[in-house]
Chains A and B, each alone.
Chain A
């Protein structure tokens, strides 16, 4: 691991005003950013050991647990999830389990108990891909790691890679689960940075790989996630997260679906669908949602929605199975949600 300067911040102001933040020359959304925040450290320290991330300065923001960023609360705007809340605390929260099942399940089905105790919600949505060619620096070609170097996964072992939202420069899949719940539930993100505070839709946070796969989010240098806001809605209670993987536990998704349904008098009033394991970034399936609107919640409607959700899928040599697996995962998730007893 390369040397770095370590500092602690006990408030948002001190965190974003740290001189090293202002000096950061490379966008913070890139793996090459010279400054990084650390909370749980489960992605950052791993990738620093692998020499994939090489920050010169690291600011420990764990003390922000004692600010609103460490809190879970319910207000008129909806559910407030502080960015420093740990995955396990949100997953175990009685009100979240009862009223926001898709959030609790997406967190509990991710990682291991130890990692969930460490990882913050803010860091969780920023976790980096598990693409082997990205994580192993002995592979020279990785546009995400070394812009312009190529993509070894295009013709390599790409079984775990994405079929939606990819580009000819990068086919890495987004590994997270919680982000699918947030994007499905129209969550918003509170940000603070050297340039001020702002609020964005969660759906705007991640960038598709396109021409610049090394820049994964729209975060400005030094910008920090403070909280997620999940607005109240009639479909949240009938929601769930279904995750399909090679192992039953402690494994990333091959395909997953976050779904929420508002069913009234035998027809779907509103649907929310997000897909994981199959896409380059947290993936909302808007067209599939529209297909369900006003329909009876049956397999015919669910099959059509799943077909639309994967209509634009682009398989590579080893991951074509993800299209069928993804469709069946979505259909099963919708079927289970439709039959949930509330």
Chain B
């Protein structure tokens, strides 16, 4: 919380660097080796044919194919964040309790933290990055989240938006009570719930018109 922190970020962005890219590159280079070493130390290889790696996994994400070399243990969430650079999908609890990692697979909302990446092969994965049109127009649900102030810190927001889109498509956004029930898998620690309900109510007719 020092006054100095924001300066670095704003300087970086003015010179073509973004804070996110800076963090990504430094964190990746410093962490990869130590994480791999720790994983090896904790998990001596069993005698069965489980060297932990699958030759290739091809994931179709937001209409694009990503050919990845992944350990079988890699969840879809980690594949997205660590292997494709799509960090919009967030890791909250990593145990299927908070909904921050919600993505669409074949247009159904699922938890990417409780899905092995290999299980999603051959299916259409949609993340928050796949919602905006090529001309930059936001998805109606993104726009109404902004218009109705449906977040504070924003960490749960990508999951909320993916879940909300599916909620409307499922036909489970007919009443406030129904929205609350069918959005209960997405926790918001800032408690923006009333505004999230409003955003979904306003997005619904826009989505149906589109």
| Binding partners A and B | yes
Flag if A117 contacts B108 (CB, 8 Å): yes
B43 touches A42 (CB 8 A): no
Q: In chain B between 156 and 202, which residues have their CB closer than 8 angstroms to a CB of chain A?
A: 163, 166-167, 170, 172, 180-186
Q: When A and B form their complex, what is the total count of cross-chain residue pairs whose Cβ atoms lie within 8 Å? A: 98
Stretch at the interface among A54-62, A182-190, A220-228: A54-62
Which A residues are closer than 8 A to B by beta carbons? 1-6, 20, 38, 40-42, 45-46, 49-50, 56-58, 60, 62, 92, 111-115, 117-118, 248-250
Q: Is the CB of B46 within 8 A of A56?
A: yes
The answer to whether A115 touches B96 (Cβ under 8 A) is yes
**CB neighbours of B119 from chain A (8 A):** 38, 41, 60, 62
Q: Tell me whether B49 and A117 are in contact (CB under 8 A).
A: no
Note all chain A residues with C-beta closer than 8 A to B94.
49
CB of B51 within 8 A of chain A?
A: yes
Number of contacting residues on B, CB 8 A?
Answer: 39
- Known A-B contacts: A45-B115, A56-B50, A250-B184. Give 7 more (CB < 8 A): A3-B46, A5-B48, A46-B95, A46-B114, A114-B99, A118-B110, A118-B115
A318 to B181: give the CA distance in the assembly, Å: 29
Chain B, residue nearest A251 (CB): B184
List the A side residues contacting B45 at CB < 8 Å.
Answer: 3
Q: Is the CB of B54 within 8 A of A6?
A: yes
User: B184 and A112: CB pair below 8 A?
Assistant: yes
Given the complex of chains A and B, what is the CA–CA distance between A233 and B170 in angstroms?
31
A117 and B114 alpha carbons, distance in the complex (Å): 12
List chain A residues, Cβ under 8 A from B166: 113
Say which residue of A4, A50, A115, A248 sits within 8 Å of B73 (CB atoms): A4
Question: How far does the alpha carbon of A5 sit from the alpha carbon of B170 in the complex, in Å?
Answer: 35
Query: CA of A255 to CA of B95 in the docked complex: distance in angstroms?
Result: 24
Chain A residues within an 8 Å CB radius of B72: 3-6, 58
Q: Could you tell me the distance in whole angstroms from the C-beta of B182 to the nearest C-beta in chain A? A: 5
User: B110's contact among A38, A56, A111, A117, by CB below 8 Å, is which?
Assistant: A117
Chain B residues whose CB sits within 8 angstroms of the CB of A49 once the complex forms? 94-95
Q: Which of A6, A49, A113 has the most CB of B within 10 A?
A: A113
10 contacts across the A-B interface (CB closer than 8 A): A4-B52, A42-B96, A42-B111, A42-B114, A45-B96, A45-B114, A58-B72, A115-B111, A118-B110, A250-B185
